[in-house]
Chains A and B, each alone.
Chain A
Amino acid sequence: MATSFESQNWYRAAHLRPALARRIEISRQTFRGQVWYVIRNPMTGKFARITESAHWLVAQMDGTRKLGEIWDAACAELGDMAPAQDELLALMTQLSGLGLLHTDGVPDADGMSDRAGRMRRRMQVMRFLNPLALRFPLFDPNRILDGLWPFARPFFTIFGALAYVALLVAGTVSAGRHWDALTGNIIDRVLAMESLMLLVLVYPLVKLLHELGHGFAVKKWGGEVREVGVMMLVFIPVPYVDASASTAFPGKWQRILVSAAGILVELGLAAGAMLLWAEMEDGLARAACFNVMLIGGVSTLLFNGNPLLRFDGYFVASDLLEIPNLGTRSNRYIGYLIQRYLFGNTRAKTPVRAPGERGWFFVYAIAAFAYRLLISLTIVMIVATRFFILGALLAIWSVTLIFVVPTLKHLRFVATSPALRGIRHRAVTVTGLALVLIVGLLGFLPVPYRTVAQGVVYAPYEATVHATEPGIVATLHAAPNALLEPGRPILTLTDPFADSRLDTARAEARKYQLRYEQALSESAYDIRLWRAQALRAEQESDQLQARAEAMVLTAPRRGVFVLPEASDIEGRFLMRGDVVGYLVDPGELVVRVAVHQESADLIRSRAKAVSLRTADRLEDARPGHIVREVPNVGQRIASRTLTTEGGGPFALDPERGPEPHTLEPIMQFDVAPDTPLDAAAIGMRVHVRIDHGDEPIALRIARRVRQVFLSRFNV
């Protein structure tokens, strides 16, 4: 039925004389060319945004006129714009609920207090429903702010603004100059323990200044700040102020500045810290500066300044776009689109009130949802790595809040909402289809499942040719990549000291021989002594002789001779045990692949097909198969090629050496290509793709979750 102009409840209101509350502020604001009025109660901070015609009506409510008279006047005055009686009552309900309006009637006190109690309980439940953002109001800071205002005033002048801009520019330039030093190894620096401690200390300080910024900005235009408190944001206490006074500011830019003040303060701090950091010596103060920059930069970008989350940036964006209540209304718009076009509900009401809002609503609703999801998951991940149980609970919580609750709400709406009467069949069908589609896509549609990893071409130990003696490579006998029989000489090592050592030994042997011969005629005791000495010297010279001969390195086995650095081998000095090259049977070359420990189970249990692409011929994929798992599951990695140092995915543990060890546990396994690799490829990076067969996404997530639990509980 069309909206009735007259209300069935009018009799309850027509004789009453409504009056606006005594201390309220009304300000006129323009959004996208439409005039709105904000009525605000400065004591409670509650406000309502009403249309021009509603304002006309509200303005008549001074306690002397009866509501009936006001409405009659409105009909005469406003014509088509006049609200229906029910709309007027709804407006009054809203205003009185916010403490902005009262009537001379005796309100239903019991009922109202009952409702207020219910509302309060619901609010309390809501508070604890979202443990990531608990609010604890502390006190009324208005006086403190008034007292501090003289110190803040200079910042809100033109000179203050200029100085601020100059500071920002200087900071930015400095940051540009020191970019590499700033960003090098940033994760390691941030996550180091002492750095974290410092961060925890600096963070509330920065945030306090941030909130002061909001407070002073409100003060600047005569607003009041009546509440300050602490919010537990992801279990980190963050101060907040109630800057809602700014909603009544008539100017768009005033409101924007209030919302942006916090970010501006943080950016200013970051710029100042940058300048100091560039000048300072390493130490605690410098680290603190770094942290200030980190907070000012990162948190501003990711959280505060980001309009997709409901922090400062959101309010800035909302005012900038002149779309009040952007978040809620954009969600409602999506709801409207679904109702209108999917369910075919022609009675659905669009929240779009001004031109151009539509597009923003659409984009914002989707982007904000996606971003919120991303941020929540990231937070969960981070928390989970430190406190596993908590992280798991958080994850359940986030999933519930982001997916389950909205889904249930939607289902309830579809099932019970009176708005869908007559089209419920279609609504249920559409919802059902959507659910089936989602469940089908996630739970049943097999999608290719692969692990991509890197490996190196790896020769077995027995194929390695080691230098048996130290020496300089004199000549290379064997041609690289030639097939050698066992015993064939590979190269000759010259030891510049070997000959002289041999000469010395020979001379010594001769010396003792002569001493011996001399002693034959002198003393029986000496005979024995010199004879022994002579024998020893003789042996030593023989040994040296043998070693001088062994300087020719021969092939220990049959195989293709691979010399990784063939061009500059001659003249190089080799220590005993150094790898000279390899004698490989190309068939025995494998690719040693390193993956994160988490993938191990998957690779062990389900490796349908493996394909390899060597770094020199990326376009050729060759099949292979896993031959063995390298038994020492640990952090020692096969080659530096696979570490971040060598361009691979694994970070090196800087505290362990000299052999390369990764920070995270890894698992390595050997893949044998079905067609032999070129022997020359030893040590080369290989990109490996392990195909696990097709699997629906839901199963994949389940597996992952199970794995995480198993690993955490060491089962």
Chain B
Amino acid sequence: MSDLSAPPTGLGAHAARLPRLRELRQMARAGEDDRPTDWRYHLTAVSDRAVGVLRDPLLRLRLRQAAARARRHARRHMEGDVADLSAALAELAPKLRQGRAFDARTCRALGIIAAVMQATHGLKPFPSQLMGALALYSGRLVEMETGSGKTLTAALAAALAALAGEDVHVVTANDYLAARDHAQFEPFFNAMGLSTGLIMHSVPPPDRGPLYRARVIYASNKEIAFDYLRNRIVLGGARAAVRLSLEAVNGAGARALGLTMNGLPFAIVDEADSVLIDECRTPLIISETGAPDPDWPRDAIALAGTLAEGRDYTVDRERRHVTLTPRGETRLAEAGETMGGIWRNAVRRDHAAVQALSAEHLFVRDEHYIVRDGKVALIDEFSGRVAEDRALGDGLQQIVEARESVAVTGRRITRGRMTYQRFFRRYRRLAGMTGTAREVAGEFRAVYGLQVIALPPHRRSRRKYGRVRIFATEDRKWCAVAARAARIATQGRPVLLATRTIRASMALSDALTDAGLEHTLLNAAQDGDEAAIIAEAGRPGRITLATNMAGRGVDIQLDDAVRQAGGLHLILTELNEAARIDRQVIGRCARQGDPGTCEVYLSRDDGIVEKFGSRRARSFLGGWVHLRKAQRRAERLLAQARLDLLRHDLSRDEHLGFLGGSE
């Protein structure tokens, strides 16, 4: 823990702008826990479950005792004013550094912090929140019921860690949440003399240096990871901290000055399953845009036009790839010969054709991308949001653009690349919280070394589950959903209809319009004031339509009339790629002891059934079991894809180490 010692002083004004040696060292550190990805990965994942059976209750017991202690301290300090409390904390802080996670000093500090929280915000932390804060502080992944005040828990833990001398990154799923949480708890941190920073997309990356000097930083996963990647690119091949600091002292510290970040100290990840698992399917890539070449996609599409499915190529829609048959390759060779130029090269030619065919068969407008303002923007399948910065690689983006007859952009030339898995593995300490983690506890353990601990809810859930209904076709399902929504809405209850994709939400919206029902549509195509809409969604009789992740992390507030009427009614209109996500969505109704009901309406031609279902699932015999089977298959394939990505990233380093260190 020597890194935590105070920075050297007396270097003068110039030096003050320079990153400290400690920071350089932290940025230069590329080391990460190299948890294995071979068979031991699976062993860890499986054994974690087995061990957890005994371990978790014991841990919960310890947490409960420690939280009770903290509560006693909190009560004792209830009357003290903020100045006294922070003085007490300042006295306690140096001792915290040597302390262990659940020892007396830590409990006492937490108790005082809780008292500060009450003093500044009037919020008295529940025991479960104290437990959660301790679990987070000890570097675990906490599973708490949705709507049980995770944000506050994170703030407590962050304060505790910051007092103990660690810099803390509170990582959220998006900028909105980061800003909201930061705004909410800034007074709380400031009261204890802890500086806070908020990293937003709107702040240009070079100006973020001062923000990162704060003790507690709120940022979305994307911003912080990209910042890190940018910093690593600045570092280039030179990773030796001493060398960097010498450069800095010599005044040739351009490189060191380009650094904005302060290493990766301790991260508390909110919505951990979404950030650490779901979003990890795509690596972070920083790229520059090259000169546009409109001819290439046009030629590629023309080339692909000469081929016929089945004869010249096959499309595997489940694994999302196109394979050329030998016959197709010959056909392309003939075409390439007449086209000349780069089309003579077999690899380039076949690749272009495959990309063009993928664009034609595998990328569907409004499901995978939308066209807006003359641009093709990708839709993140998971968040349902438009991923502004993201573009398809390998010329695919250009082909899609050419197909949609918008201006062809230049190809992106990669400058840095990293997977989220490896980014988060590089944190010195990692903790997280989410509503749904136990399904992927093994993965958390094997990839991040995170132990999942489920904490009991503060209030008993009053959610009631309705029957699962399965329809033959999507159209029938939409009609039924519309009818059902209308009926519930007339009872004066709000209805939330959750869809998986934008396309589905559009279709459902049409069905509702046909039925003459007024509704609000919330999806990636119009994200902006999501939170406001979501907050409104609790009004009596309101029908809201949301893609599965839209407005995540925002509570739907109910008034008493609605509570009387039975609370929010949620209809899950499609199974998601993971049962965990279904659970998340369902968690939006009946929060924090509110009443609520949920129902599941499915059809046998839902996307997930089409893609992953057996023939039986798609036939009229397909029942709940078969649809669940399709979902499980999707879960498996996605987990495999994530592991593959990580493995690939690791092996890439292994192989290309001679070229220089990775980002």
Contact = CB atoms under 8 A, between A and B. Distances in A.
A675 interface: no
Contacts, number: 103
A101 B346 CA distance: 29
A108 B414 contact: no
Given A106-B237, A418-B644, A3 B351 contact: yes
Interface in B630-653: 644, 652-653
A5 B656 contact: no
A243 to B, nearest CB: 28
Interface string B334-376: 0000000000111110110010001000000000000000000
Interface in B593-628: none
A3 B347 contact: yes
Interface stretch (A82-90, A469-477, A593-601, A602-610): A82-90
A102 B322 CA distance: 37
A2 B238 CA distance: 35
Interface in B239-255: 239
Contacts of B237: 105-106
A12 interface: yes
A12 B659 contact: yes
A12 B658 contact: no
A12 B660 contact: yes
A80 B322 contact: no
Which of B347, B416, B644 has the most C-beta atoms of chain A within 10 angstroms of its own C-beta? B347
B415 interface: yes
A111 B32 CA distance: 11
B334 to A, nearest CB: 14
A601 B127 CA distance: 76
A425 interface: no
Interface residues of A, number: 40
Contact of B658 (A4, A84, A103): A103
A11 B413 contact: yes
A111 B653 contact: yes
Interface stretch (A35-43, A92-100, A147-155, A281-289): A92-100
Given A12-B660, A82-B345, A2 B655 contact: no
A111 B662 CA distance: 10
Contacts of B654: 111, 115
Contact of B414 (A11, A103, A418): A11
A391 B351 CA distance: 57
Nearest to A346: B323
B657 interface: yes
A16 B659 CA distance: 8
B656 A89 contact: yes
A19 to B, nearest CB: 12
Contacts of A111: 30, 653-654, 657, 661
Nearest to A97: B658
Contact of B656 (A80, A84, A93): A93
Contacts of A79: 344-345
Contacts of A105: 237, 658-660
A294 interface: no
Given A1-B322, A75-B345, A106-B661, A8 B414 contact: yes
B417 interface: yes
A6 interface: yes
Contacts of A93: 655-656, 658
Contact of A11 (B31, B316, B394, B416): B416
Given A5-B347, A11-B413, A422 B319 contact: yes
B209 to A, nearest CB: 25
A631 interface: no
Nearest to B352: A5
A61 B39 CA distance: 39
B206 to A, nearest CB: 21
Contacts of B321: 1
B268 interface: no
A416 interface: yes
Chain B interface mostly helix, strand, loop or mixed? Answer: mixed
A107 interface: yes
A102 B655 contact: no
B659 A107 contact: yes
Range, interface on chain B: 35 or more
Contacts of B319: 421-422
A9 B415 contact: no
Nearest to A347: B323
A2 B347 contact: yes
Nearest to A111: B657
Contact of A106 (B351, B394, B415, B660): B660
A176 to B, nearest CB: 59
B326 to A, nearest CB: 9
Given A82-B345, A412-B39, A106 B238 contact: yes
A80 B316 contact: no
Contacts of A101: 658
A698 to B, nearest CB: 29
Interface string B238-282: 110000000000000000000000000000000000000000000
A346 to B, nearest CB: 8
A10 interface: yes
B351 A108 contact: no
A110 B661 CA distance: 9
A12 B354 contact: no
Contacts of A439: none
Interface string A164-196: 000000000000000000000000000000000
A108 B354 contact: no
A662 to B, nearest CB: 54
B324 interface: yes
Residue of B321, B344, B347, B659 contacting most chain A CB atoms (<10 Å): B659
A5 B316 contact: no
Contact of A80 (B345, B417, B659): B345
A365 B414 CA distance: 44
A107 B659 CA distance: 5
B393 interface: yes
B638 to A, nearest CB: 13
Given A2-B324, A106-B237, A8 B657 contact: no
Contacts of A9: 417, 652, 656
A6 B394 contact: yes
A185 B35 CA distance: 63
A107 B346 contact: no
Contacts of B324: 2
B345 to A, nearest CB: 6
Contacts of A80: 344-346
A112 interface: yes
Q: Among the interface residues B324, B644, B653, B655, which one has the most CB atoms of the partner chain A within 10 A?
A: B655
A132 interface: no
Contact of A107 (B350, B655, B660): B660
Interface in A319-357: none
A4 B660 contact: no
B28 to A, nearest CB: 10
A684 interface: no
A13 interface: yes
A108 B394 contact: no
Nearest to B663: A12
B656 A102 contact: no
A96 B658 CA distance: 7
Contacts of B358: 1
A11 B656 contact: no
A634 B315 CA distance: 77
A112 B657 contact: yes
Q: Please name the 3 residue pairs, one residue from A and one from B, whose CB atoms are nearest each other, closest first.
A: A108-B661, A106-B237, A105-B660
Interface of A: 1-6, 8-13, 16, 75, 79-80, 82, 84, 89-90, 92-93, 96-97, 101-103, 105-108, 110-112, 115, 412, 416, 418, 421-422
16 contacts: A1-B358, A4-B351, A5-B351, A16-B659, A16-B660, A79-B345, A80-B344, A89-B655, A89-B656, A103-B660, A106-B660, A108-B30, A108-B239, A110-B30, A418-B644, A422-B316
Interface of B: 30-31, 39, 237-239, 316, 319, 321-324, 344-348, 350-351, 354, 358, 393-394, 413-417, 644, 652-662
